[in-house]
Amino acid sequence: MKVTILLEEPISVYDLQQELEAIKARDGELGFRAAKTDEYLQKFAKLDIKKAADLKKKLEELNIPRLRTEHVCKLVDVLPVDSEDIKMVLSAYSVTVTNENVAKIADVIKEHRK
């Protein structure tokens, strides 16, 4: 069986958690790797799925130049506490964000961490 990749799109751990729930509902149970992944997500996902989706939407609505979906997903996954943490997360990518935009990101994340 040959697999063809139709679309490659970054997703957050919360999107993955939602997909695993759909697979579990469809198949009745998860395979070994999927079950281990689900166990990890249950342990480390800090928000519920709705809050995470809302956070992702709000970050995308900021329309920050050069901030792509993969960056937004990583910010939602990590939930950095302050501006310095946001800069640290984004330093893994070749993207520069102004201090003003980092402050906007920090405000949105703080709002959803409560």
- Mean pLDDT of successive 10-residue segments in the chain (114 residues)? 88 91 92 93 87 93 92 93 92 90 94 80
* Residue-level pLDDT at 114: 67
Distance CA 7, CA 74 (A): 19
The dihedral formed by the CA atoms of 43, 47, 48 and 54, expressed in degrees to the nearest 10: -150
Amino acid at 7: L
Torsional class of 26: left (φ above 0), alpha (ψ -120 to 50), beta (otherwise): alpha
Amino acid at 38: D
DSSP 41-62: HHHH--S-HHHHHHHHHHHHHT
